[in-house]
Amino acid sequence: MEIYCDNAATTAIDPEVAQAMLPFLTTHYGNPSSGHQAGRKVKLAIDQARATVAGIIGASPDEIFFTSGATEANNLALSGTIMTYEISHVITSKIEHKAVLQTLAKHEKEGDIEISFVKLDERGNIDLYHLENLLRANPRTLISLMHGNNEIGNITDIHAISKLSQRYDAIFHTDTTQTIGKLRFDLKEMNIDFLVGSAHKFHGPKGVGFIYINKNQRIKAQILGGGQERGQRGGTENVIGIAGLAKALEIANRDLAANHNKISKLKQYFISKVSIAGIPDICYNGESKSVENSIAGILNVSFPCLSQGSIVKKLDQQGIFVSGGSACSNLTTAGSHVLNAIPCEKDKENVRFSFSKFNTFEEVDHMIRSISRIYHAEPSALLHAAASK
């Protein structure tokens, strides 16, 4: 039995999505920039996909631009804004995705910007008072704060940030890669300038994503070429991927409430089962244990160190696929920048379980049995020591 419980890393393609992509792999292969019928047919499909995405997030189709994924979309939003508007100050947090942090670090190194990191509380939540103070002190700021954290699942109050951004005349970029198709939001109710998504996080294909660029913003393209995507992103469009992205988002949006309900229950079931599995000293990182304050599918757990080896690797050997964050000091894995930025118990093995609509309660039972077996094979003195800490 194989169990895939790493859905924050990527998800399985929904069979309905695969069906929607098929015609563009076989019959409809025209270049959307070609003026003939074969090209026009494909261009129409891209326009329909654009309208689908726009409709779901409350944008207008001319505010949606397809990219190769969220990494590219984040790069475009940040570098494009910094270079177009000569922004010299950016507010972000230490727990953003590397696609954001590394792009900003590059601009800082090149002398384009100064970065202020907003304070986080002990669970990794944004300190909105500190954010407001930073905004008050720094005119013409770009804010880059993610909606849902990919490691600890924290959900940021983007409504509140959008209000602050408007009040202080800032530009607001938010990475919604982990929340698109999972949490409902409407851009008509918020003042967001840039927002990004990636199809493979919501049961679509890899290598395709999108950026929403508010109609009041036009930024310098970062990939130059044939002027595709209305000049914002050169390169022949990934038509197959775009068809899959739109179908995947349509399905995610259609089934959002049912999926949220099922996935939340899977997480709660895991928490209740693991708490009675006889493993001492487990703790949860960020808000991931909370039903209200975290992405339904993400659970970030710290386990006591094993006397030898890693729990993530032992689970992998048994066909259970989960993600590791930071590791015990007897292992050599580099720590997670997210967990390093919040007070989290050190010298524990950190594991991210991330559930999807395709996971089952039987799989949770199986995972708990496997974890329990791993710990019960440990020398009893070690478990005792962990329990009495």
Strands 209-213 and 194-198: antiparallel
Strand pairing category for 349-354 and 298-303: antiparallel
Residue 7 binds ligand PMP, judged by CB under 6 A = no
Q: Which residues contact 175 (CB under 8 A, 6 or more apart)?
A: 70, 74, 96, 97, 99, 100, 144, 146, 147, 195, 196
- The footprint of ligand PMP on residues 122-181 (CB under 6 A) is 146, 150, 175, 177-178
Q: Nearest residue to ligand PMP, using CB?
A: 69
Q: Is 11 near ligand PMP (CB under 6 A)? A: no
Point out which residues pair with 148 in neighbouring strands.
155
5, 305, 328, 344: which one is catalytic?
A: 328
Q: Please give the full DSSP string across 156-187, using - where no structure is assigned.
A: --HHHHHHHHHHTT-EEEEE-TTTTTTS---G
Q: Name which of 49 and 328 has its Cβ closer to ligand PMP.
A: 49
Q: Does 294 bind ligand PMP (CB under 6 A)?
A: no
Interface pick for ligand PMP out of 30, 69, 204, 244 (rule CB under 6 A): 69
Binding span for ligand PMP by CB under 6 A among 47-55, 65-73, 227-235, 363-371: 65-73
Backbone angles phi, psi at 384, to 5 degrees: -65, -45
> Stretches 68-76, 113-121, 187-195, 328-336: which one binds ligand PMP (CB under 6 A)?
68-76
Q: Decide whether 299 or 383 has the Cβ nearer to ligand PMP.
A: 299
Helix (H, G, I), strand (E, B) or coil at 210: strand
Is 198 an interacting residue with respect to ligand PMP (CB under 6 A)? Answer: yes
Q: Which is nearer to ligand PMP, 69 or 124 (CB)?
A: 69
Q: Is 97 in the site for ligand PMP (CB under 6 A)?
A: yes
User: Crossing angle for the helix pair 256-275 and 239-254, nearest 10 degrees?
Assistant: 70
Q: Is residue 305 among the annotated active site residues? A: no
Non-local CB neighbours of 234 within 8 Å, separated by 6+ positions: 221, 223, 224, 225, 226, 227, 228
- List interacting residues with ligand PMP (CB under 6 A): 69-71, 97, 99, 146, 150, 175, 177-178, 198, 209
What positions carry a catalytic annotation?
Answer: 328
